[in-house]
Amino acid sequence: MNGMKLTTNYLGIELKNPLIISSSGLTNSVQKIKKLEDAGAGAVVLKSLFEEQINRDALSMLKESDYPEAQDYILNYTKNNTVEQYLRLIEEAKRSVDIPVIASINCISSKEWFSFAKPIQDAGADAIELNVFILPDNIHENGYLYEQIYDDILLNLSKRISFPISVKIGQHFTNIPAFVKNLKSRGAKGVVLFNKFYAPDIDVDSMTFTSSEVFSNPSDLKQSLRWIGIVSSLVKNIHLCASTGVHDGTALVKQLLAGATAVQVCSVLYKKGPEYISTILSDLMEWMKKHNFNSIDEFRGRMSYKNIPDPTIFERSQFMKYFSDIQ
């Protein structure tokens, strides 16, 4: 395996390999990030700053306050204190590890709270990932208005920072390639497909709400694999990072063959520990050796929508073809 190159360029950043650790509790401290680097991670996305959590914490403090006129002070204090802790994490991580450190913001609006985006850049983060989800639950609003929020967020953010922006999205859009192309035109350097959002479940015995499965499953790979293959062929000059369902080296290879620039992992590391990163990468190298590939660029996108003889394999209509004989 001597001379084998696993390097990839994601968001204009050189990574030693395409394996990125997703924003999660795995990346919320310098100690954890160092373990991930030691295990072979190509980059990390820090645990997100949650706009919703900042607002909730501020509201909680307001309820405990006897001074309504202190609302602005409490909101700003909560926001600034949370941001200061995050900036320290970025600074300490950049001093402690050599791999790229990508900041993450989980946002639900395009309000002025983006004013701390510039400090995040100044703290040394290599890029920023927008983790956006707006639940389309207003029956009186047209669907395009929800997509407009993404536009507003990107335009707002791009005015404040100059380092690369990626956007992590869900899969519930009418036209994913067109949406990704629009994100690119608004300043996104990369897009992560797809996010795994919280979903409610019901305990039928107690008739109470619980959380559905928190971790992804290997079967979830099929959702992002299809769209990585399609979008990588239809949208030019955008870096695509595959996410959700990547639990082993084979899944990593599949996403790269479909056209992914990089791949994020998370759930499997909660189950098997950071050391499993080396197993995933070893599997990748063994596969490359078996097929005589010396670099990822030699096979990336070989199985994408544009590079296979029958691109309709990626299309939904094929479902009927494969299952029409089942009685």
How many domains would you assign to the chain?
A: 1
227 pLDDT exceeds 60? yes
User: What's the length of the chain?
Assistant: 327
Higher pLDDT, 301 or 214: 301
Query: Under a CB-based contact definition with an 8 Å cutoff, are residues 16 and 7 in contact?
Result: yes
251: in domain: yes
Cα(248)–Cα(267) distance, integer angstroms:
11
pLDDT at 69: 46
Instruction: Indicate the pLDDT class of residue 141, thresholds 50, 70 and 90.
Output: confident
pLDDT at 79: 61
1: in domain: no
In eight-state DSSP terms, residue 25 is: G
126: in domain: yes
Cα(130)–Cα(155) distance, integer angstroms:
12
Cα(167)–Cα(157) distance, integer angstroms:
12
- pTM for the model: 0.89
pLDDT at 213: 83
Query: Under a CB-based contact definition with an 8 Å cutoff, are residues 87 and 119 in contact?
Result: yes
2: in domain: no
Residue 212's domain comprises 8-323
Instruction: Indicate the pLDDT class of residue 197, thresholds 50, 70 and 90.
Output: confident
Query: Under a CB-based contact definition with an 8 Å cutoff, are residues 229 and 244 in contact?
Result: no
The token duo for 154 is 């990107």
Going from the C-alpha of 274 to that of each of 11, 40, 258, the distances in angstroms are 24, 9, 26
Place of tokens 């380092």: 163
Query: Under a CB-based contact definition with an 8 Å cutoff, are residues 10 and 30 in contact?
Result: no
> What's the CATH number where 245 sits?
3.20.20.70
The kind and range of the H/E element at 323 are helix 318-323
* SS (HEC) of 168-193: EECCCCCCHHHHHHHHHHCCCCEEEE
Place of tokens 């001093």: 95
Closest CA relative to residue 102, chosen from 163, 160, 188: 163
Cα(259)–Cα(304) distance, integer angstroms:
6
Cα(283)–Cα(88) distance, integer angstroms:
36
Cα(283)–Cα(134) distance, integer angstroms:
37
pLDDT at 61: 45
Q: How confident is the model over 272-314, as pLDDT tens digits?
A: 999 999 999 999 999 999 999 999 999 999 999 999 998 888 8
3: in domain: no
Cα(249)–Cα(282) distance, integer angstroms:
8
Cα(277)–Cα(129) distance, integer angstroms:
22
Using DSSP, state whether 101 is helix, strand or coil: strand
177: in domain: yes
In eight-state DSSP terms, residue 112 is: G
Cα(252)–Cα(263) distance, integer angstroms:
7
135: in domain: yes
Measure CA 239 to chain center: 12
